[in-house]
């Protein structure tokens, strides 16, 4: 079981993120909800993790972060174009 708590408002977020928060059963700030630890719930948590506080029981894998996997979109050099070695000028 995962214990999640809504710690940031969803007012300035997209409608998609607001629907995810509602689907998780979090309707008010600082409310705690216990949800089963399955891939569907973890996927929803991943999308709105900046608004949540998550307690993961001992012995379960942590919820992935974009910094853990470069394929998920974290780019520390954001704004810098990748090298163009394959192009001829």
Q: What is the pLDDT of residue 59?
A: 74
Q: What is the pLDDT of residue 37?
A: 86
Q: What is the pLDDT of residues 6-18, one digit of tens each?
A: 999 888 889 999 9
User: Is residue 1 within 8 Å of 57, Cβ to Cβ?
Assistant: yes
Q: What is the pLDDT of residues 62-73, one digit of tens each?
A: 665 555 555 555
Residue ranges in 4-87 assigned as alpha helix (H): 15-23, 39-47
Where is pLDDT greater, at 59 or 18?
A: 18
Beta bridge partners, 32, equal 5
Q: Mapping DSSP to helix (H, G, I), strand (E, B) and coil, where does residue 42 land?
A: helix
Q: What is the pLDDT of residues 23-43, one digit of tens each?
A: 999 989 998 999 988 888 888
DSSP 41: H
The domain defined by 2-67 carries CATH number 3.30.70.920? no
For 73, list phi and psi in degrees, rounded to 5: 110, 0
User: Is residue 44 within 8 Å of 16, Cβ to Cβ?
Assistant: no
Round to whole Å and give the CA distance between 2 and 17. Answer: 19
* Helices and strands of the chain, counted as H and E runs: 2, 3
């Amino acid at each position: 079981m995962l214990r999640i708590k809504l710690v940031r408002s969803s007012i300035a977020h997209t409608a998609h993120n607001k629907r995810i928060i509602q689907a998780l059963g979090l309707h008010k700030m600082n409310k705690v909800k216990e949800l089963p630890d399955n891939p569907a719930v973890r996927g929803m948590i991943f999308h709105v993790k900046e608004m949540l506080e998550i307690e993961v029981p001992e012995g379960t894998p942590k919820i992935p972060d974009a910094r853990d996997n470069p394929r998920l979109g974290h780019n520390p050099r954001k704004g810098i174009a990748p090298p163009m070695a394959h192009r001829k000028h």
